[in-house]
């Protein structure tokens, strides 16, 4: 299953990329992140891992699978028969940024997860997109 939320943010793509990849700061401004602990040191890179605690969920370890500067930050986790990929896709548009947040689920339990929690996953993507927009306005 694929869930997607696209929003236009009145801030340059460079700023949104910085907010996206400075994951240590996410708990301070994203309502979808209660806690985030990096499991490695240094700059975020493919292979970097972090333990992420989100509301109503147990903690999960996410591994960065793609970093394309100012365009694509993707990472993946697996739990209980479901593989989840989260993507943060950015594009510069008219002095601002189009941010597309994607959550893809696959595996034996993906259909059940979608049936039970699809609405919550859509709402979570909307809340996360709004959090990035608010933070960009606050620091921009």
* Chain segment 23-47, per-residue pLDDT in tens: 999 999 999 999 999 999 999 999 9
Region for residue 127 given its phi and psi (left: phi exceeds 0; alpha: psi -120 to 50; beta: otherwise): alpha
Residue pair 32/128 in contact by the 8 Å Cβ criterion? yes
Residue pair 26/96 in contact by the 8 Å Cβ criterion? no
Instruction: Tell me the pTM.
Output: 0.92
pLDDT recorded at residue 112: 61
Cα end-to-end span (Å), the chain: 35
CATH numbers and ranges of domains, the chain: 2-22+65-139 (3.30.530.20)
pLDDT recorded at residue 56: 84
Instruction: Determine the Cα–Cα distance for residues 12 and 16; give it in Å rounded to an integer.
Output: 7
Nearest Cα residue to 49 out of 67, 30, 63, 37: 63
pLDDT recorded at residue 111: 67
**Positions in the chain whose pLDDT score sits under 70:** 109-119
């Amino acid at each position: 299953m694929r869930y997607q939320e696209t929003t236009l943010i009145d801030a340059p793509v460079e700023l949104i990329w910085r907010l996206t990849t400075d994951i240590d700061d996410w708990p301070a401004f994203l309502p979808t992140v209660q806690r985030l602990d990096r499991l490695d040191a240094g700059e975020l890179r493919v292979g970097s891992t972090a333990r992420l605690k989100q509301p109503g969920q147990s903690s999960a370890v996410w591994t960065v699978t793609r970093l394309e500067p100012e365009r694509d930050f993707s990472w993946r986790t697996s739990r209980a028969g479901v593989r989840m990929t989260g993507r943060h896709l950015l594009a510069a548009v008219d002095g601002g940024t189009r941010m597309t947040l994607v959550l893809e689920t696959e595996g034996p339990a993906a259909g059940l997860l979608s049936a039970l929690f699809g609405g919550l996953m859509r709402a979570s993507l909307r809340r996360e997109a709004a959090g990035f927009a608010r933070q960009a306005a606050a620091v921009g």
